Structure 1
Amino acid sequence: MTEGAGGVPEQQLLPGKYARVERERRFLLPGPPAPSAVTATRRITDRYLVGTRLRLRRVEQPGGESQLKLTQKVAVAGPGAVQGLITNTYLSEAEYDLLARLPAAVLTKTRFSLGELGVDVFDGDLRGLVLAEAEFAADEEARSFAPPAGCVAEVTDDARFTGGSLVVAPRPELLGWLAEYGLYPAGE
């Protein structure tokens, strides 16, 4: 077994019984989507458990239902849509509450669905950041995907725009990153 990017054995990048290969591309947008284009809206709270590769997620649906899950992401270093391996476990409210007691860095966002795109509009210190994300089942799908209309830049290969990096980014740093792409949040 040889090691691939990031020290992850290459054979582990194949879909398996528990983990699947995560393929996604991310794009910076200048602002939230037009309400007329939105097909679904969800509030997301992500808790990145300190010292782990684990993320605890609460997805709140408009009707009051919540989806709770624990996710492990094993990243690979290198360019392109293949981000690494992802494993999800769905949780009960009691399981979520127990895990939510662990130390974590937290971010919140609203996710808008627009066809094959999820557009995240961030809150708190990340306000002003709008990221569109598309996920793919195969490499060719990812390569042939056209960036969304109004896209400022593709940031798939910019590790600063991953959840694990954003959750710990101080606001002045985020503003600097956005400025590098010609974005300046209103009121800043």
Structure 2
Amino acid sequence: MTAEPVREEKYARIERERRFLLAGPPPPAPVTASRRITDRYLAGTRLRLRRSESLTDGSREFKLTQKVPAARPGHIQGLITSVYLSPAEYELLARLPAATLSKTRLSVPPLGIDIFDPPLHGLVLAEAEFTTDAAARSFLPPPQIVAEVTDDPRFTGGSLVHAHREDLLGWLADYGIRPAPDTPWTA
């Protein structure tokens, strides 16, 4: 059965993204910005509540995002709709039951590199976002990439938020990555 094409809707846009594993965090020199991100995946929904704080200037951003996944593999991840929230709106929604995932995101253009907090320490996941299919297909990953995991559903936020340490170590071993089991990486 052929999957229906993913089309932009009135309020949603197509999310084009490729994801990659790295063996470790990048050196500090190429990092242009960094921020702490806490994602709350609201129980029983496709909704993610995000708090993002700049580690440079302390500015904060709050978003509610719905992700509707594509029914096929590849760089088109599906549809994404985001609403920016005030701190009060965020606090109200943060009371809902959710699973939480925390990480530090480093900007190393053209990549955003996520370094995860325990229990997912040792996972360094890079992503590149694109505005066109041609740009996504023609992207050449930098040499520090260990493996592309765009089509591996284990490395999506919605899956990672439910992962246990033992799961992660096995998934990384599948790609030849063996982080120190008890030593979190820091940014």
TM-score, structure 1 length as denominator? 0.93
Alpha-carbon displacement from aligned partner over 1:128-185 (angstroms, at most 9, x marks no partner)? 0000100000101000001122111000000000000000011101110000101111
Letter of the 1:23 counterpart: R
Matches within 5 A, 1:69-148: 69-148=63-142
Tell me which of 20, 40, 45 is aligned to 1:47. 40
Question: CA-atom RMSD, angstroms?
Answer: 1.3
Equivalent position of 2:11 in the other structure = 18
Alpha-carbon displacement from aligned partner over 1:21-71 (angstroms, at most 9, x marks no partner)? 000000000000110010010110000001000000000012221100000
Equivalent position of 1:33 in the other structure = 26
Structure-2 change in CA distance of 1:18 and 1:50 (3 Å) = same
SS of 2:105's partner is strand
Equivalent pairs, count: 181
SS of 2:135's partner is helix
Q: Answer 1 or 2: which has greater helix percent.
A: 1
Equivalent position of 2:185 in the other structure = none
For 2:168 and 2:109, locate their aligned partners in 1 and report how far apart those are by CA, in whole Å: 28
SS of 2:159's partner is helix
For 1:106 and 1:100, locate their aligned partners in 2 and report how far apart those are by CA, in whole Å: 10
For 1:68 and 1:135, locate their aligned partners in 2 and report how far apart those are by CA, in whole Å: 20
Letter of the 1:64 counterpart: G
The yes-or-no answer on 1:184 pairing with 2:174 is no
Letter of the 2:12 counterpart: A
Deviation (angstroms), 1:187? 4.0
The yes-or-no answer on 1:60 pairing with 2:53 is yes
Matches within 5 A, 1:130-169: 130-169=124-163
Query: Structure 1: where are the runs of 5+ without partners?
Result: none
For 2:142 and 2:156, locate their aligned partners in 1 and report how far apart those are by CA, in whole Å: 18
SS of 2:119's partner is helix
TM-score, structure 2 length as denominator? 0.93
Letter of the 1:161 counterpart: F
